[in-house]
A and B are shown apart, each in its own frame.
Chain A
Amino acid sequence: MITMVLGGLWHGANWTFVVWGTLHGLGLSLNHARRKAVWKVPDAAAWATTFVFTTIAWVFFRASTFRQAAFLLRGMAGLAGSAALAHHYSIGAHDLTRIAIALAIVLFCPNRQAIMNYDWRNDYLYAAAFAILMAAATMTMANPPPFIYFQF
Chain B
Amino acid sequence: MKRRLVLMLTMAGALILCGALVNYLLNPYGVWRTTLIDPVFRKPKDEHVALPYAIRGAELSTLLVGTSRVVFGMRIDGLAANGFVNGGIRAASLSESCATVDAALANPHLKRIVWGLDFFQFATSWDPANPEFDRRLDGGAGPIVGDTLLSLAALDNGIGDLKRMLRGRARLPTSARAAVPWPPEVICGEYAAELGRGLVRTPPAAIVRQISNNMPNYQNYRFSESFWALFHATIERAQRRGVDVILFVPPMNAYELEVIRRAGDWDQFEGWKRRLVTIGPVIDLSGYNRLAYLDDYYTDVMHHKTPIGESILRRLLGMQMPACYGIGENLSAAMVRLDSRDIDGAIAVQDRMMREASSVDSRYGQLAEAALLDQRARVKARQQASVIP
Q: Interface on A for B, CB 8 Å cutoff?
A: 62-64, 68, 71-72, 75, 81-82, 84-85, 87-89, 123-124, 126-128, 130-132, 134-136, 138-143
Contact = CB atoms under 8 A, between A and B. Distances in A.
Given A131-B14, A139-B16, A87 B209 contact: yes
Interface in B141-155: 143, 146-147, 150-153, 155
Contact of A130 (B12, B132, B151): B12
Interface string B1-40: 0011001101110111001000000000000000000000
B11 A128 contact: yes
Contact of B386 (A64, A134, A141): A64
Contacts of A134: 8, 12, 15-16
Contacts, number: 81
B317 interface: no
Interface in B322-348: none
A85 B374 CA distance: 9
Contacts of A141: 146, 150
B378 A88 contact: yes
Contacts of B386: 64, 68
A123 B387 contact: no
Contact of A131 (B11, B132, B151, B387): B11
A139 B16 CA distance: 8
B385 A72 contact: yes
17 contacts: A64-B386, A68-B387, A71-B385, A72-B387, A75-B385, A124-B7, A127-B7, A127-B10, A130-B11, A130-B12, A131-B8, A135-B19, A136-B152, A138-B150, A139-B16, A139-B155, A140-B152
Contacts of A142: 143, 146-147, 150-151, 153
Contacts of A89: 388
The listed residue with most B CB atoms (<10 A of its CB), out of A81, A84, A123, A140, is: A84
A102 B155 CA distance: 27
Contacts of A143: 132, 151, 153
Contact of A85 (B15, B147, B378): B378
A132 B13 CA distance: 10
Given A68-B386, A134-B15, A84 B377 contact: yes
B380 interface: yes
B3 A123 contact: yes
Contacts of A64: 386-387
Contacts of B15: 131-132, 134-135
A123 B146 CA distance: 30
A106 to B, nearest CB: 24
Contacts of B16: 134-135, 138-139
A143 B155 CA distance: 14
Contacts of B153: 142-143
B82 interface: no
A130 B146 CA distance: 21
B8 A139 contact: no
Nearest to A127: B7
Contacts of A127: 4, 7-8, 10-12
Among B132, B386, B387, residue most surrounded by chain A Cβ atoms (within 10 Å): B387
A132 B377 CA distance: 47
B380 A84 contact: yes
